[in-house]
């Protein structure tokens, strides 16, 4: 049964009002937001790694500059999102600690390797494409700081997706070898991209409550369907084949029928057993440890400065 406070809160959410940090909220709402926003922030930060891997190996100076800017954008997205989480009373250090000790997740997709340049195209096209599909509705999420962060992030994210598609166009219209690389990248990234939307609705433990609170706007399966419907014509334009024999247009539902990803693989990846989990987490922990001297220096400086002002 809802308490009077909870009922009043739910009515505000139902009216479409934004909830701001200092306002009353149910503990479960706060916890769910810290989990989702924190996980989202970690994904932006860990998501720099597979692409960062290709900055030094981009095929031209122009591609290098573009990729560098894109990876920097991801760092910025992580920072806005950590700030949004901090307004809920959790510190950035706590969030980092939980990422590093494995008690908080980040998106499954970043545990797959980027083996060649075509993968950078596929990541921009499919991974950023899936990210936007998920994030556009989140601009209307009920928590003010999260919603505002999403508005800004979505603008940059759509540029990221276009740069990925542009790489795919070059590759798909290039030499037979380049074309084969583009197809191979699509083959490897297709199902992992479908997994980004989370488990199927029947296995999604948080969806019902999160949708009632307007923390989420759509179910995982709704967004996955929209992503497939948007992406199939883009693959056709590239002349590439989506690796799914069951893919066909369903007139009745006005969308494509498609094969589900291998959910046992998904659950293995989010349990820490994907192809690159150890490498990704290891890189983040190392970066944190390597930065310790700098954080300590900043703290020492702030302390000295504080003492001087107090004197």
Q: Which of 141, 210, 231, 277 binds ligand ACO (CB under 6 A)?
A: 210
Q: Which residue, 183 or 277, has its beta carbon nearer to ligand ACO?
A: 277
Q: Could you tell me the smallest distance in angstroms from the CB atom of residue 305 to ligand ACO?
A: 36
For residue 164, state whether it binds ligand ACO (rule: CB under 6 A): no
Tokens standing for residue 311: 């004197």
For residues 90 and 183, which CB has a smaller minimum distance to ligand ACO in the complex? 90
Distance of closest approach, residue 280 Cβ to ligand ACO, in angstroms? 12
The two three-digit tokens of residue 211, written as one number: 């949708």
Whether the Cβ atoms of residue 230 and residue 133 lie closer than 8 Å to each other: yes
Distance, in Å, from the CA atom of 30 to the CA atom of 10, rounded to the nearest integer, reads 14
- Please state the closest distance from residue 238 (CB atom) to ligand ACO, in A: 21
In the bound complex, what is the minimum distance in angstroms from residue 302's beta carbon to ligand ACO? 31
Of 42-50, 166-174, 255-263, 272-280, the segment contacting ligand ACO by CB under 6 A is 42-50
Q: How far apart are CA 42 and CA 285, in angstroms?
A: 12
Using CB under 6 A as the binding rule, whether residue 163 contacts ligand ACO is answered as: no
How many angstroms separate the Cα of 94 from the Cα of each of 34, 65, 89, 103?
11, 33, 10, 11
Does residue 70 touch ligand ACO according to CB under 6 A?
no
Task: Kindly give, in sequence order, each residue whose CB lies less than 8 Å from that of residue 192, ignoring residues fewer than 6 positions away.
Answer: 108, 109, 112, 261
Q: Say whether residue 107 binds ligand ACO (CB under 6 A).
A: yes
Residue 67, token pair as written in the block: 């990729």
Q: Which span sits near ligand ACO by CB under 6 A: 84-92, 200-208, 277-285, 287-295?
A: 200-208
Q: Is 124 in the site for ligand ACO (CB under 6 A)?
A: no
- Give the chain's largest Cα–Cα span: 76
Element (H, E) at 69: helix 61-86
- By the 10 Å C-beta count (0-12 exposed, 13-18 middle, 19+ buried), 245 is classed as exposed
Q: Are 256 and 247 in contact (CB under 8 A)?
A: yes
Among 48, 114, 134, 142, binds ligand ACO (CB under 6 A): 134
> By CB under 6 A, which span of 6-14, 40-48, 166-174, 287-295 interacts with ligand ACO?
40-48
Task: Give strand ranges (E) for the chain.
Answer: 248-250, 255-257
- Judged by DSSP in three states, 256 sits in strand
Q: What is the DSSP string of 170-195?
A: HHHTS-HHHHHHHHHHHHHHHHHHHH
Tell me which residues in 256-285 interact with ligand ACO (CB under 6 A): 270
Out of 48, 207, 225, 231, the residue judged to bind ligand ACO by CB under 6 A: 207
Query: Please, which residues have CB within 8 angstroms of residue 90's CB and are 6 or more apart in sequence?
Result: 34, 38
47 lines the binding site for ligand ACO (CB under 6 A) = yes
Binding of ligand ACO by 35 (CB under 6 A): yes
Interaction mask 216-245, ligand ACO, x per CB under 6 A: x---x-------------------------
Number of residues that bind ligand ACO (CB under 6 A): 25
Q: Does 139 bind ligand ACO (CB under 6 A)?
A: no
Residue 205 makes contact with ligand ACO by CB under 6 A: yes
Interface ranges with ligand ACO (CB under 6 A)? 35-36, 39-40, 43-44, 47, 105, 107-108, 131, 134, 195-199, 204-207, 210, 216, 220, 270
């Amino acid at each position: 049964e809802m308490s009077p406070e909870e009922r009043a809160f739910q009515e505000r959410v139902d009216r479409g009002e934004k909830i701001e940090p200092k306002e009353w909220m149910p503990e479960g709402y706060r916890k769910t937001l810290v989990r989702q926003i924190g996980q989202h922030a970690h994904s932006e930060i860990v998501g720099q790694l597979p692409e960062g891997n290709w900055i030094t190996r981009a095929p031209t100076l122009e591609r290098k500059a573009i990729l560098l800017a894109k990876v920097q954008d991801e760092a910025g997205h992580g920072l806005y999102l950590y700030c949004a989480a901090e307004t809920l009373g959790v510190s950035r250090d706590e969030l980092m600690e939980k990422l590093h000790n494995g008690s908080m997740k980040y998106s499954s997709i970043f545990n797959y390797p980027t083996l060649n340049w075509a993968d950078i195209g596929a990541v921009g096209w499919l991974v950023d494409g899936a990210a936007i599909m998920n994030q556009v509705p989140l601009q209307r999420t009920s928590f003010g700081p999260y919603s505002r962060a999403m508005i800004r992030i979505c603008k940059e994210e759509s540029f990221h997706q276009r740069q990925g598609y542009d790489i795919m166009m070059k590759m798909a219209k290039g030499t037979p070898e380049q074309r084969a690389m583009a197809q191979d990248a699509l083959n490897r990234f297709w199902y992992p991209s479908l997994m980004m939307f989370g488990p199927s609705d029947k296995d999604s433990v948080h969806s019902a409550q999160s949708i009632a609170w307007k923390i989420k706007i759509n179910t995982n399966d709704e967004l996955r369907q929209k992503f497939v419907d948007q992406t199939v014509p883009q693959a056709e334009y590239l002349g590439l084949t989506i690796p799914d024999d069951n893919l066909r247009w369903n007139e009745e539902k006005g969308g494509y029928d498609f094969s589900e990803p291998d959910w046992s693989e998904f659950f293995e990846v989010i349990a820490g057993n994907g192809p690159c989990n150890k490498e990704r987490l290891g890189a983040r922990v190392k970066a944190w440890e390597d930065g310790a001297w700098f954080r300590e220096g900043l703290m020492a400086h702030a302390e000295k400065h504080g003492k001087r002002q107090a004197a």
